[in-house]
Structure 1
Amino acid sequence: MPMKRMVLEIGMGTDIRGTDYTKAAVRALRDALWHHSLTITHALGMEADAMRVEVRIGVPKPDQVDHAAVLAVLPHGTGTVTVVEGGLEIPNEAGTGSTVMAHAAAIVRLELPA
């Protein structure tokens, strides 16, 4: 059975002072996920863990994001994480740190009959 795209969720997260790309990415995914309650799986007679979630994160330095920490945010189902260049980094006036802004997209797919 083919996987069908059911939901697209988007979010934004920041690390204000620590220049921590993973922290910003985790907060962005939480922002995307924590403002709703998906009941689509139950409406279709499926378990919530049947969801497959593609997580896409945009930050200025993709190589500094811990994929496992981002994936650990998912409350149900299985997922993959792709990190691309995006987001925003704003240096502080002293030049000693930055605020990092990450963007997240969570694409939820379910295996449905054709």
Structure 2
Amino acid sequence: MAGEEVGPTVLTTVSDGVVLIRVRGAVDDWAGPAELVDALTAAADGGEQRTVVDLSGVDFADSAALHALLHGRRKHEKAGIPLVVAGPLSVNVHRLFEVTGTLDAFRFADDVGTALAE
């Protein structure tokens, strides 16, 4: 529809002690970081055993998305809950982590299945 705001879709499910946050679309300064921050904060506060953030459906992310993920990582560290970022990552998203020097700041898995099996 014309004029309709298009942002990412952030879906959260909990199963067997794992919170799975699936993010789809573009996450940038205009759309999505607040949803992602809310989902990551709820996951860190929820007391589950692990959180997996599925970024395989994200085609673009900017510093606002990275800020949301770093915020979530801090919340998870404080709560003692592992946070895993699952791919496969698009070239644009991988480049964001690479250019900002944050590849080592996160635990990455090749895909959701691998992240859930850890």
The structure whose RCO (Cα within 8 Å, separation 6+) is larger is 1
Q: Which has the higher strand share?
A: 1
Larger radius of gyration, structure 1 or 2? 1
Place the TM-score, normalised by the shorter chain, in its bin.
Answer: 0.3 to 0.5
The structure with the largest helix share of the pair is 2
**TM-score, normalised relative to structure 2:** 0.33
